[in-house]
Chain A
Amino acid sequence: MKKTWTKVVVVALSCMMAFMLAACGGGGSSDAGDAGAVLLGNTGPLTGPAAIYGNAVKNGGQLAVDEINAANPDGIQLAWQAEDDEADGEKAVNAYNKLMDDGMKVFIGSTTSGSCVAASEKAFEDRVFELTPSASQVAVTEGKDNVFQLCFSDPNQGVAAADWIVANMADAKVGVIYNNASDYSAGIFDKFKAEYEAAGKKLVAVEAFSDDANTDFQAQINSMKNAGADFVFLPIYYTPASNILIQADKIGYAPTFFGVDGMDGILTLEGFDTSLAEGVMLLTPFIATAEDEATQNFVAAYKEAYGEEPNQFAADAYDCVYAVYKAMNEAGLDASASHEEICEALIAQFAGDFTASGVTGAEMQWNEAGEVNKTPNAMVIENGVYVPVK
């Protein structure tokens, strides 16, 4: 009896210590806003299968913050903190709360949609302004006046893709392979299908796969081939897409593949034979090989800092930081403002006629629903580089 009680006391004490540690970790380190820097926070998957996206956003945001601080030593100073959420809603809320403990003033969204919906709810309750770089689901902004997206929302992408195909590829026999376990892919596909069929067209084949089975695509590719599809829409990320390209090539099936923004990155995949991507089309706001000065500077700086080519996620985060910084300056805020004050001021900016230009779009504007208005570019891969579709 005594022995057990001692054990209980010991364990309970160690529990308390752990909790205290957690509590201190939260309350104690609110020094991140040192010297009046405005803390921008982000949550994203830094570990796990989606880690590539989280890390890209983390790096892109950090780069922008460093650049801004170096360029404007007398202006508002920014600080950047990215926390791991493993692309999981529960962890995202934890990570968001950790950022709040650390004194976050503006939330540069969660990287992935699923986590972002959960975290945005909290940001809405706490009145923290949120601009998400890459969470494209509608539910992210729905009903929340302080949440804005820098990327296209999924439906907009689906609609844009369908419209583009109807306008430019009227005779194509279109097939789709999408990821039904990904909210991003399923979201785009839903709207794409509705819009495409509304134009009186029919999809010749639709196949799905799930994240757990994203290695073998022969069944899906065979289905496309047998249905005679000569134009395959891939509203998926470039990793499974590269797999599809390789396997289609192996059986000698060569339709025109058409992707969305998630397809960007396929050319910089280490070890990937880019000749397979020849002729692939995609609709994307960001192109790492674009000729304009802003993009080239960004890509060069990113490569220098992190040793790899930035993808669309890094670019989105980079633009987010610049947009927020610009809006804060235009609203006349200074670093001492509370997150509620910043929130209201930035809502007025973003819902008003505020525009921002960056590497993912020029003169971007936002509506009150939080959606961005920018033009996607239709690109085609020729000789290993993107060129605009003629």
Chain B
Amino acid sequence: MNLLTNIISGLSLGSVYAIIALGYTMVYGISKMLNFAHGDVIMIGGYMSFVMTMYMGLNGWLALLVAIFICTALGITIERLAYRPLRGTGSLAVLITAIGVSYFLQNIALLIWGANPKMFTSLFKGMKPIHAANGQLTITPESLFTILANIIIMVLLTLFVNKTKAGKAMRAVSEDNGAAQLMGINVNQSISLTFAIGSGLAAVAGVLMLSAYPVLMPTTGAMPGIKAFTAAVFGGIGSIPGAMIGGLILGIIEIFSRAYISTELSDAIVFACLIIVLLVKPTGLLGKKVSEKV
């Protein structure tokens, strides 16, 4: 039963990584930049939801909607102000700017909400955990809903990207920015839309993550951000199903190495697995192999 419990916690943690990784992977796909501020958008989403529930007395689900809305706006603003002026100047400059944005968000949060951690109230408070197999196996509502949310988001996003006009435009832009522009696609709009979706998902991920692991601090988003980035690379950065698979595998490896090998070295094991995967498949599990032009 222990094994099953661990698999479920792994899947639940992995689902959080997967939803965050989606933001990374979509942004990377369309603008070829590593958006290191993404993790901090999660944190802002968490604080927004916290403020709405604790200070404004909103229902948790309504607060989630507000948080999604605010994070979406934040994502678009960040892209507009900090990243767009640097488009086409190479990813290094944007990378550093993204790090600047990350510092900015963390320190703004510190100034507004202070250094004291806040305990996030679970979105699923009041729901009873499911007990199975004579009480040996416990599934918390948080795990269940996180895994469900992950699946729903993945299906919707795949449909959106493949079936809608805006989604196709996004794919075209990530395939070839210049050609897409020549075909009459509004590149700026597509990129804004990608940031909007990625940041909105970050808010969802933030609320789900904090429901399970409720400590909210200005630096809450940093480490999950890096892990999710690892997950995105694991699955092949730029690929939507890759982000999901990468996230889930990463979550399971992390929980398993903690449960069966060593709690201290779990991160080292996660990162070592990443290196091994990249040695076997240099573009990640589902990454496209890009042939170089001479």
User: How many CB-defined contacts (below 8 Å) exist between A and B?
Assistant: 101
Q: From B6, B119, B223, give the contact of A219 (CB < 8 A).
A: B6
A365-385, CB under 8 A of B: which get 1 and which 0?
A: 000000000000000000000
Known: A213-B258, A215-B213, A269-B119. 16 other contacts (CB 8 A): A48-B219, A52-B117, A54-B115, A207-B263, A208-B263, A209-B264, A216-B212, A216-B254, A220-B263, A222-B2, A269-B118, A270-B54, A270-B118, A271-B121, A273-B119, A308-B116
B271 smallest CB distance to A (angstroms): 11
Q: Is A61 an interface residue (CB 8 A)?
A: no
B118 touches A271 (CB 8 A): yes
B207 smallest CB distance to A (angstroms): 14
A212 touches B223 (CB 8 A): yes
**Interface segment, one of A240-248, A281-289, A318-326, A340-348:** A240-248
**Residues of chain A contacted by B264 (CB below 8 angstroms):** 180, 208-210
Q: From B54, B114, B219, give the contact of A55 (CB < 8 A).
A: B114
Q: Is B215 an interface residue (CB 8 A)?
A: yes
B117-130, CB under 8 A of A: which get 1 and which 0?
A: 11111000000010
Q: Is B97 an interface residue (CB 8 A)?
A: no
B102 smallest CB distance to A (angstroms): 13
User: Whose C-beta in chain A lies nearest to the C-beta of B140?
Assistant: A250
Q: Is B107 an interface residue (CB 8 A)?
A: yes
- Give the interface residue-count category, chain B: 35 or more
Q: Which 7 A-B pairs have the closest CB atoms?
A: A51-B115, A271-B119, A215-B213, A219-B258, A272-B119, A219-B259, A52-B115
B258 touches A220 (CB 8 A): yes
**Residues of chain A contacted by B107 (CB below 8 angstroms):** 47
Q: From B116, B117, B138, give the contact of A250 (CB < 8 A).
A: B138
Q: Is B50 an interface residue (CB 8 A)?
A: yes
User: Whose C-beta in chain A lies nearest to the C-beta of B209?
Assistant: A215
B217 touches A216 (CB 8 A): no
A229 smallest CB distance to B (angstroms): 15
B292 smallest CB distance to A (angstroms): 34
Q: Is B283 an interface residue (CB 8 A)?
A: no
B114 touches A212 (CB 8 A): no
Q: Is B9 an interface residue (CB 8 A)?
A: yes
B147 smallest CB distance to A (angstroms): 15
**Residues of chain A contacted by B118 (CB below 8 angstroms):** 269-271
**Residues of chain A contacted by B142 (CB below 8 angstroms):** 250
B120 touches A271 (CB 8 A): yes
CA distance A305 to B121 in the complex (A): 28
Q: Is B214 an interface residue (CB 8 A)?
A: yes
